Amino acid sequence: MKPFAKLDGLVAPLDRANVDTDAIIPKQFLKSIKRSGFGPNLFDEWRYLDVGEPGKSNHDRPLNPDFVLNKPRYQGASVLLARENFGCGSSREHAPWALEDYGFRAIIAPSFADIFYNNCFKNGILPIVLDAAIVDRLFRQCEASEGYALTVDLDKQTVTTPTGETIAFEVDAGRKYRLLNGLDDIGLTLLQSDKIKAYEERRKAEAPWLF
Amino acid sequence: MPGRTLYDKLWDAHVVHVEPDGTTLLYIDRHLVHEVTSPQAFEGLKLAGRKPWRTSSAVAVPDHNVPTTDRNQGIADPVSRLQVETLDANCAEFGITEFKMNDIRQGIVHVIGPEEGLTLPGMTVVCGDSHTSTHGAFGALAHGIGTSEVEHVMATQCLVQKKSRAMRIRVEGELGRGVTAKDVALAIIGEIGTAGGTGHAVEFAGSAIRGLSMEGRMTLCNMAIEAGARAGMVAVDEKTIEYFRGRPYAPKGEMFDQAAAYWKTLVSDADAKFDAEVVLDAAKIKPQVTWGTSPEMVVTVDGKVPNPADASSEVKKHDWERALQYMGLEAGTPIEQIAIDKVFIGSCTNSRIEDLREAAAVVKGRHKAANVKLAMVVPGSGLVKQQAEEEGLDKVFLEAGFEWREPGCSMCLAMNADRLEPGERCASTSNRNFEGRQGAGGRTHLVSPAMAAAAGIAGHFVDVRKF
């Protein structure tokens, strides 16, 4: 996993609530057995005017000019500004894979769905929860000013606006540590192997039908 | 010591290690695996040279991509076929039990887990699928997980978790005739919203829940994720225990009695404290129909499509406007006047034998309406299909002009050939009415099996209580 420290990124505003994982990456692309290459199909049904299929080239597909990520001013965005309950629906990790592959490293929203939120941290994406009124203000600033960028500092847990306003955010200490260092969860958990084995021995005696 | 919730008891029994900040290694008893969210996890294990910690805890089944017709022909779509073949190859390589596509035990992962006794009360159950919450119906702690976590559970038998808050949703009283667990689930989501359960483990309780069959409880817990809750659960009672007697992977003889004695303790203590509580009156719940593109966009069958002007916030107003546009509906239209093109009876929400019986009872001796292009019934597993055929339900459906298919996820998410065409409107017993969920441009209305069946006969939504 790529470590995440500090990001100075162009912001793209996706102004709708309850954006679900089917919208982030439609199911036909879940047939892939790889974890890369989902970026061109991120938000496929909103982004293109035709229906995308796996294996089909995306270069000559008709783009929906009204979709925010297709607007010239948002090209190269790495911070996604979103509304409530972002990432609701399925557990598909293809959603953060697609966001990351597209180039997003941070997502700011008033709330996230639990599984999606968790999946982001496993893939080097920082989901940032800010108060709905603050998010609303960032939306207005972003739409009003072309080239609007935010600085995200995970270590300091701050988002800084172009005018220098600094907004603090909360993040779980364990997740922060892993994301800052790009650490592999499995390796860390296996350091506790003796405890896992001891648990199994105890459990086998208490509840033998489970083994 | 204060009383403990069911969630506390399940949690406490599985703690392997706790970090000072509360991050916990939680032991996983059962890992269910399917073809869509596992290939990258197996690849990760191979690349790191890791072996599964305990292969006997994992059971795999292909369900999302499998065709529901002509199984003998194999899978026509080469991309879907490769994904299923990859599951077969990975299970063979790592020694994991798999119920393959043509095995009678094959079916939707959340149907076969309980059916085989692979899911048991008191277990922690995970699967790379958000509807894993289904298994909580049996007094188990069941979470949907992402692919990184699938790999993590395979390698370590543990999940890194922080404890959620506990919410209890009580439904008290008696459900009216024609009102099912699906209607209860949709009514709850209508009440608390699709993010109402976020950050919580939800226990469903109250006399109406105790009155539900195990199938009904599964439907309810299945939809917990649509209310934002990663886990839903129901306390163990006699019905729960009896369900497992004689199941292939359930304990037998004295071991069963020993297990059952433990299972009986899997209830919230009378003095247990919940962080949040919601109470619904069962008698007031009517058959539900979703009108929009989120499960919380739901009204009763005797209601009307709402007006965005009545939405509680600007953000919501825009969402409703967008949903109406996508769904091709006008505000104020009575639900019963909405005509449909297709019917889908199936999915991990509503494809068990009881669901099929309810739908068959409605269509028996009737015929699907001329404007309904396709009405399909997709049993949840090979064994559900077999039982339904023994009861003659297949003939009831076929005589009514409904199609009788092979088991799988099918048109719940349209990863196989079963899908809606753009603009088509479907009465569906599945769990998500998101844009494009059942096919790009498709319009989904979530309902109970009886309501879907009735809509198929009438050609439009209709109150099954009047049917």
Question: Nearest-CA neighbor of B433 among B309, B308, B329?
Answer: B329
Note the pLDDT tens digit of each residue in A65-107: 999 999 999 999 999 999 999 999 999 999 999 999 999 999 9
Coil, strand, or helix at residue A107? strand
What is the mean predicted confidence (pLDDT) over B106-132? 98
Q: Which burial class, exposed, middle or buried, applies to A162 when counting CB atoms under 10 A from its CB (0-12, 13-18, 19+)?
A: middle
CA distance B3 to B257: 25
Q: How many residues does chain A have?
A: 211
B298 phi and psi, to 5 degrees? -135, 145
* Interchain proximity B79–A90, CB inside 8 Å: no
Q: Write the residue in A33, A90, A114 that is nearest to B199 by C-beta.
A: A114
CA distance A82 to A70: 16
Split at pLDDT 50, 70, 90, the class of B144 is: very high
B456 token code pair: 């198929």
Q: What is the DSSP string of A148-184?
A: -EEEEETTTTEEE-TT--EEE----HHHHHHHHHT--
Interface of A with B in 19-38 (CB under 8 A): 20, 22-23, 26-28, 30-35
The chain-wide mean pLDDT, for chain B, equals 97
Q: Which residue has the higher pLDDT, A56 or B213?
A: B213
pLDDT greater than 80 at residue B223: yes
Residues 6+ apart with CB under 8 A from A165: none
Q: Which residues of A touch B408 (CB under 8 A)?
A: none
Give me the pLDDT at residue B13, please. Answer: 98
CA of A151, closest CA in chain B: separation in Å?
A: 26
* Interchain proximity B48–A84, CB inside 8 Å: no
Range with lowest mean pLDDT among A180-189, B223-232, B269-278: A180-189
pLDDT greater than 80 at residue B1: no
What is the mean predicted confidence (pLDDT) over B59-87? 95
Give me the pLDDT at residue A2, please. Answer: 82
* Interchain proximity B194–A88, CB inside 8 Å: yes
B369 token code pair: 């309406």
Q: Which helix (H) or strand (E) holds B258?
A: helix B253-263
What is the mean predicted confidence (pLDDT) over B137-155? 98
Contact between B449 and B180 under an 8 Å Cβ cutoff? The reply is yes
Note the pLDDT tens digit of each residue in B6-27: 999 999 999 999 999 999 999 9
Look-up of token digits 């769990």: B431
Q: Which residues of B touch A56 (CB under 8 A)?
A: none
* Interchain proximity B155–A186, CB inside 8 Å: yes
pLDDT greater than 80 at residue B178: yes
What is the mean predicted confidence (pLDDT) over B82-96? 97
* Interchain proximity B25–A51, CB inside 8 Å: no
B83 token code pair: 């994904």
Q: Write the residue in B56, B130, B156 that is nearest to A196 by C-beta.
A: B156
Share of chain A above pLDDT 90, in %: 95
CA of A141, closest CA in chain B: separation in Å?
A: 17
Q: What is the pTM of this model?
A: 0.96
Look-up of token digits 């979709």: A67
Kindly state whether A83 is in contact with chain B, defined as any CB-CB distance less than 8 angstroms. yes
Strand B165-172 relative to strand B276-281, pairing: parallel
Q: Write the residue in A16, A172, A199 that is nearest to B16 by C-beta.
A: A199
Query: Considering Cα of B467, then B402, then B293, then A122, what sign does the dihedral take?
Result: positive
Contact between B214 and B240 under an 8 Å Cβ cutoff? The reply is yes
CA distance B91 to B42: 9
Kindly state whether B119 is in contact with chain A, defined as any CB-CB distance less than 8 angstroms. no
Interface of B with A in 220-249 (CB under 8 A): 225, 228, 230
Give me the pLDDT at residue B2, please. Answer: 83
Strand B30-33 relative to strand A166-168, pairing: unpaired
Q: Which residues of B touch A91 (CB under 8 A)?
A: 37, 128-130, 132, 144-146
Note the pLDDT tens digit of each residue in A24-43: 999 999 999 999 999 999 99
Give me the pLDDT at residue A5, please. Answer: 87
pLDDT greater than 90 at residue A184: no
Question: Nearest-CA neighbor of B236 among B209, B255, B197, B273?
Answer: B209
Look-up of token digits 């600094």: A166
Give me the pLDDT at residue B467, please. Answer: 83
Split at pLDDT 50, 70, 90, the class of B315 is: confident
Give me the pLDDT at residue A27, please. Answer: 95
- Rounded to 5°, the CA angle B183-B164-B351 comes to 30
ipTM over 0.85: yes
* Interchain proximity A33–B158, CB inside 8 Å: no
Interface of A with B in 170-189 (CB under 8 A): 172-174, 185-186, 189
Q: Which residues of A touch B162 (CB under 8 A)?
A: 172
Give me the pLDDT at residue B156, please. Answer: 98
Q: How many residues does chain B have?
A: 467
